[in-house]
Amino acid sequence: GAGVSQTPSNKVTEKGKYVELRCDPISGHTALYWYRQSLGQGPEFLIYFQGTGAADDSGLPNDRFFAVRPEGSVSTLKIQRTERGDSAVYLCASSSDPTAYNEQFFGPGTRLTVL
Partner 1 sequence: QKEVEQDPGPLSVPEGAIVSLNCTYSNSAFQYFMWYRQYSRKGPELLMYTYSSGNKEDGRFTAQVDKSSKYISLFIRDSQPSDSATYLCASTDGGNTPLVFGKGTRLSVIA
Given strand 19-24, what is the order of strands in its sheet? 5-7, 19-24, 75-79, 65-68
In the bound state with partner 1, the residue whose beta carbon lies nearer, of 4 and 112, is 4
* Bridge partners, 111 (sequence order): 10, 89
Q: Nearest distance from residue 23's CB to partner 1, in Å?
A: 11
Q: Which residues bind to partner 1, rule: CB under 8 A?
A: 4, 33, 40-45, 48, 50, 55-56, 59, 91, 93, 98-99, 101-102, 104-109, 111
3-state SS, residue 102: helix
Provide CB contacts within 8 A for 62, sequence distance 6+.
none
- Measured from the CB atom, is 19 or 93 closer to partner 1? 93
Which is closer to partner 1, CB of 89 or CB of 114? 89
Question: In the bound complex, what is the minimum distance in angstroms from residue 94's beta carbon to partner 1?
Answer: 11
